Structure 1
Amino acid sequence: MAYLISVNAGTPTPTDHSTEPVTGIDKRPVEGAVLVLVPGPEGTAPTGIAGDVVCDLRVHGGPDKAVYAYAREDLDRWERELGRELTGGVFGENLTTSGLDVTGARIGERWRIGGEVLLEVASPRIPCRTFAGWLDEKGWIKRFTDQAEPGAYLRVLRPGTIRAGDPIEVVHSPGHDVTIGLAFRALTAEPALLPRLLAADELPERTKEKVRARLGQQLSQ
């Protein structure tokens, strides 16, 4: 059974690796029930997790990046490779999951968590220099990209409360085959996959615009 290991929220942490002096990537497990909300427009609102901190609203927060989920199974693999403990929230994820194939989740897939909250898979997380600086691992962006286990950003379709231990149920899977893993590879190391992304109507509009722009550049070359 898939379930939530932890719900994680961040506090402002000083950083030299962002346009902002602080980052909210340092997320820690929260005890008890946590309210999940539909955030405001992109660029104006933080994540959908009450109490979570987002410092750079240009690239984080908003409806299409309301919640970030990462699989404990993938963290465990990174623990073995890096030889260090990786606690829930260390990748900046709001939800640390167990028993759920986050990389294989399709864009538009819907997850019901507990009895109230309904989330929709929107897009993969693309690594940035803030993430690299936080992990402090040599060549981190390339290593993370090569592994292609990016975790998933999710929309909040139905708000409510969640807590560690809540079951996660996949209640809808769209008919296309555009997964988080495929979308990540298309947007990073394998641009030949870009045309396939347009089969996913649920892909964020801004991402679709980037895909179309890149495809146009390829055609003009």
Structure 2
Amino acid sequence: MPRLVAVCAVHTLHPDAGSVGVTAIDKRPIEGAVRVGKLGVRADVQASRKHHGGPDKAVYAYAQEDAAFWEGELGRDLDAGWFGENLRVEGLDVNGARIGEVWRIGDTVEVEVTMPRTPCATFARWVGGSVARGWVKRFSDEGRLGAYLRVRRAGDVRAGDAIEVLSVPEGAPTVIEVYRS
């Protein structure tokens, strides 16, 4: 059964060379029950609302299986939140999810898959070091992007909650198909 590994929100705003001047990519797990509302995880921040946030990008989900792949590639631990995700999930093919697919997390929260994450220069700067050079292309080419979610039903979630796929729209493109089209 798919499950929620961690719920993450911004830990610290960091200076960034991008147009906003700061980034909120530094997400860390939150203990206990966390409210998820129409605009995302309570206590989270998006430094650039132009590119992140809003109802169609309220929550960003990333798969533990994809994080484990990158741990092997980069030779280091990538704790929940490292990708800037709000939800670290396992047992769920996030990149193979269909646009419009609906998931229930825990007892009440319902989310809908809306679009893939598009990696950017801020993400590359966050990765840092020698890996940063070419990171956006490498991350894109690997197709382990994660997905943005719209919150259809607000409520509380916590690490360990079950995730159930409630509906999958027949014939809808997958997250990775949308990204590559």
TM score, norm. by length of structure 2: 0.96
Q: Structure 2: which amino acid aligns with 1:60?
A: H
In structure 2, what is the Cα distance between the partners aligned to 1:128 and 1:15?
16
How far did residue 14 of structure 1 move?
Answer: 2.1
Q: Does the aligned pair in 1 maintain the 2:20–2:47 contact within 8 Å?
A: yes
Where does residue 11 of structure 1 map in the other structure?
A: 11
In structure 1, what is the Cα distance between the partners aligned to 2:109 and 2:65?
23
Task: List alignment gaps of at least 5 residues for structure 1.
Answer: 40-47, 187-221
Q: Structure 2: which amino acid aligns with 1:176?
A: G
Where does residue 136 of structure 2 map in the other structure?
A: 141
2:159 to 141, 164, 169: 164
1:119 to 106, 111, 135: 111
How far did residue 15 of structure 1 move?
Answer: 2.8
In structure 1, what is the Cα distance between the partners aligned to 2:86 and 2:103?
15
Name the SS for the 2:169 alignment partner: coil
In structure 2, what is the Cα distance between the partners aligned to 1:111 and 1:14?
32
Where does residue 55 of structure 1 map in the other structure?
A: 47
Q: Which string of whole-angstrom CA distances, capped at 9 and with x for unpartnered residues, describes residues 34-66 of structure 1?
A: 001112xxxxxxxx1000011111111100000
Q: Does the aligned pair in 2 maintain the 1:69–1:93 contact within 8 Å?
A: yes
Q: Does the aligned pair in 1 maintain the 2:9–2:29 contact within 8 Å?
A: yes
Q: Structure 1: which amino acid aligns with 2:83?
A: F
2:65 to 65, 73, 79: 73
How far did residue 21 of structure 1 move?
Answer: 2.1
Q: Does the aligned pair in 2 maintain the 1:35–1:162 contact within 8 Å?
A: yes
Q: Structure 1: which amino acid aligns with 2:69?
A: R
Q: Structure 1: which amino acid aligns with 2:16?
A: D
Where does residue 74 of structure 2 map in the other structure?
A: 82
Does 107-116 or 53-62 show the bigger shift? 53-62
Task: List alignment gaps of at least 5 residues for structure 2.
Answer: none
In structure 1, what is the Cα distance between the partners aligned to 2:170 and 2:141?
27
Q: Percent identity?
A: 54
Q: Does the aligned pair in 2 maintain the 1:79–1:85 contact within 8 Å?
A: yes
Where does residue 180 of structure 2 map in the other structure?
A: 185
Structure 1 residues 32 and 132, CA, compared in 2 at 3 Å: closer, same or farther?
same
Q: Does the aligned pair in 2 maintain the 1:12–1:53 contact within 8 Å?
A: no
In structure 1, what is the Cα distance between the partners aligned to 2:17 and 2:102?
34
How far did residue 177 of structure 1 move?
Answer: 4.0
How far did residue 163 of structure 1 move?
Answer: 0.4
In structure 1, what is the Cα distance between the partners aligned to 2:110 and 2:59?
11
2:100 maps to 1:108: yes
Q: Structure 1: which amino acid aligns with 2:89?
A: T
The correspondence of residues 25-40 of structure 1 with structure 2, limited to 5 A, is: 25-39=25-39
Q: Which string of whole-angstrom CA distances, capped at 9 and with x for unpartnered residues, describes residues 96-137 of structure 1?
A: 001001010000000000000000000000001000000112
Q: Structure 2: which amino acid aligns with 1:86?
A: L
Q: Structure 1: which amino acid aligns with 2:148?
A: Y
Q: Which gives a bigger RCO, structure 1 or 2 (Cα 8 Å, sep 6+)?
A: 2
